[in-house]
Chains A and B, each alone.
Chain A
Amino acid sequence: MAEKHIGHIEPYSAQAGTMIPLGFQKFLRTCIIWQFIRFIAINIRMTILILKSHH
């Protein structure tokens, strides 16, 4: 059953097989504190990747 915040999803449509974000997931997506932590984490991963590529 589709979550209320998503609305109706047509069966067998492209959207029918998708992962629907629930309340906590949705909250995390716009939570400044969590997104800042993720931003730092992604930048660390990118920095490691770039440093590894320098010969």
Chain B
Amino acid sequence: MARVVIMGGGVSGHTAATFAKKWLGNKHEVVVTPNSLWNWIPSNIWVDVGEMTKEDVTFALAPVYKKAGIDFRQAKALGIHPEGKEGSDKPYIVIEYTSKEKEGQKEELTYDYLINATGPKLNFAATPGLGDANGLGEHTVSVCTADHAVHANHELQKVFQKAKTTRQKILVGTGHGMCTCQGAAFEYIFNIEHEAKEAGVRDNLDIKWISNESFLGDFGMGGFATSSKVFAESLYIERKLDWVIGAHVNKVEAGKAHYELLDGTMGVEEFDFAMLLPPFAGVGLKAYDKAGADITDTLFAPNGFLKVDANYAAGAYENWKASDCPHTLQNPTYHNIFAVGIAFAPPHPISKPMSSPNGTPITPTPPRTGMPSAIKGEALVR
């Protein structure tokens, strides 16, 4: 029976793994993921305002996979060798263990089918001051992981405490001109507004939205049902949330977010508390051919996401069609490699691409969210 290796045990990867086990009855299924816990990321939005705990949104993977008979390796994938190596045509990946018992150990894992479900690299380093290669910086908070969300709630409660005596400013949105996930920030700003009312400090808070959308309600999809702009603006104004849109945050420092607007003007927003989403990139997997030459460009797009059966040559916005999107999520060069969830490279954005007169791209990238990620995992196995 074929060996299926799934890189990533998140929303997509875990869904693919469990359905593959159920439908294919595969005895040779391996899940490789660096985290020991599964996280329902969409619910981190409740953790970061204290409505849920980290334990409510995570569970340990090892016992689940043991019960299901799935080989679980707590490790990160470093590289893909789709053509094998000298002396063997069998494709394999190189993994490095992250578990305490085997930390740092490397191993080669052969596969017949490979599913890339590695999710996003949270590219905090893309905006100076937002973070670096190690992750989140010290000036802002994040809602992207359960641990980030716990930290965000601690900081938010401190601000609520200060707001009892001193007016505070909260800034929420996207931390780069090419971010996705505006929906997560949208949920967060309204959660904060609600919690502030509950805490009795709403009147002493200025809460402001900043994003790369060209209009409120874009959400990376160019709006929807033609009413999302009207709907979103109406909600924001009802809850007295101010907004700056068409913004590329280009630098963050203590208490300040610098940005450039679509019209080329520059601005700065001061804050006491800020949640600014990072842009996404691929996790940085490399690929090598049989001779060991780097073929990363063959498998991956420049943003680090895996190429699949999408139309990457659609060209200008006017030519974009829904049929540009992938159907089988299969890599066009190595047909036994697939990508699901956030790990695949979309053909192009959905929102109309825009740039400032300075040439700075300020466009939401295609939205990525939990439910479709899980559905893709299931659909891929089907």
- Which residues of A approach B to under 8 Å, CB–CB? 5-7, 9, 14-15, 17-21, 25-26, 29, 50
Contact = CB atoms under 8 A, between A and B. Distances in A.
B238 A26 contact: yes
B314 interface: no
B-side interface size class: 10 to 19
Contacts of A50: 375
B243 interface: yes
A46 B146 CA distance: 28
B245 A6 contact: no
Contacts of B238: 5-6, 20-21, 26, 29
A6 B234 contact: no
A14 B240 contact: no
B242 interface: yes
A8 to B, nearest CB: 11
B240 A19 contact: no
Contacts of B245: 14
A34 B182 CA distance: 26
The 6 A-B residue pairs with the shortest CB-CB distance in the complex, in nearest-first order: A18-B233, A19-B234, A18-B237, A21-B238, A21-B234, A19-B230
A20 B234 contact: yes
Contacts of A15: 233, 236-237, 242-243
A17 B233 CA distance: 9
Interface of B: 230, 233-234, 236-238, 240, 242-245, 375
A25 B244 CA distance: 25
Nearest to A17: B233
Contacts of A17: 233
A18 B242 contact: no
Nearest to B232: A18
26 contacts: A5-B238, A6-B237, A6-B238, A6-B240, A9-B237, A14-B243, A14-B244, A14-B245, A15-B233, A15-B236, A15-B237, A17-B233, A18-B233, A18-B234, A18-B236, A18-B237, A19-B230, A19-B233, A19-B237, A20-B234, A20-B237, A20-B238, A21-B237, A21-B238, A25-B234, A29-B238
Contacts of A26: 238
Determine which residue in B233, B242, B244, B245 has the highest number of CB atoms from chain A within 10 A of its CB, and name it.
B233
Given A9-B237, A19-B237, 8 more contacts: A14-B244, A14-B245, A15-B233, A15-B236, A15-B242, A19-B230, A21-B234, A21-B237
A55 to B, nearest CB: 9
A2 B331 CA distance: 55
A15 B244 CA distance: 10
A15 B216 CA distance: 11
A13 to B, nearest CB: 9
B81 to A, nearest CB: 34
Nearest to A19: B234
A17 B230 CA distance: 10
